[in-house]
Structure 1
Amino acid sequence: NMNMNTNTNTNMDMNHNMISPTKHKVEMESIRHAAEVIQQEAEEKISQMTNELQTKLDMERRRMQQEIQNERHKVRDDFKKAREECEGWKDRAMGLEAEMEEVHKANAEA
C-alpha cells in the first residue's frame, strides 16, 4: 500500500488530517456550550457584585442621612439654647432699665 509508506510524521494524507464534519460539529457545540456556561457565570457574578455595591451604597446613604439628621438636631438645639440665652439677656436688660428708671425717679424726687 503506497499510502502507508507516505504517511510519515508530516502526515501527507490530507484526508487523515481533516476532522470529520460530525466531529467538527460536536466540538463546536461543546465550545458553544462552554461559552454559554462562562457567560452565565459572568452574568451571575456581575449581578452579585452589583447587588453588593447597591447594598453598600444604600448603607452609606442611610449613614449619611443619619449623620445629617443628627447634625440638624444639634444645630436646632444650639439655636434654641442661644435664643433662650438672648431672651435671658433681654429680660435682664429690661430689668436694669426699670431699675435705672426707679433711680432716676428717686433722684428727681429728691
Structure 2
Amino acid sequence: IFREPLSIYKNPKSFFEQGGTREMEAALEKIFDRLADEYLHEQQERLLSSLHEGTEQVFAMVKERFERILQANYEADLAALEGGVPAEVLEEILAELEKQA
C-alpha cells in the first residue's frame, strides 16, 4: 500500500530540494484518508449495531414487565368477579369508605 509513495524518494537532493516531500505528503494523505474513512465507516456500523441490539433488549424488558402487570391485573379482576368475598362484607367496606369521604 505504501510502495508508490515510498518510490517518490530517489535521493535526498530531489526529495528535499525539488518538492519530493510535498509529493510524498499528498500521496500518503490520500492513503491515510481512505484508511481513516474505512475505519470510521466500520466503527459507525458497529455502533449502530450495538445501539439496535440494546434498543431491542430494552424493548423486550419493557414488554415483559407490562405483560406481567397486565397478567396480575387480569387475575385480580377475575378473582374479584368470581367472588370469594360475601356481598355483606363489601357493603360494609363501601359504607365505611363513604363515611370517610
Identity %: 9
Distance (whole Å) between structure 1 residues aligned to residue 71 and residue 60 of structure 2: 16
Cα distance, 1:46 vs structure 2: 1.1
SS at match of 1:30: helix
Greater Rg over alpha carbons, structure: 1
Q: What residue ranges of structure 2 are gaps of 5+ in the alignment?
A: 1-12, 90-101
Length-normalised TM-score, structure 1: 0.59
Over 6 Å off, 4+ runs: none
Aligned residues: 78
Q: Which runs of 5+ in 1 are unaligned?
A: 1-18, 98-110
RMSD: 2.6
Match of 2:8 in 1: none
1:68-90 deviation digits (Å, cap 9, x = unpaired): 1111111110100011111223x
Give the distance between the partners of 1:31 and 1:24, measured in 2 at CA. 13
**Residue 93 (1) aligns with residue 86 (2):** yes
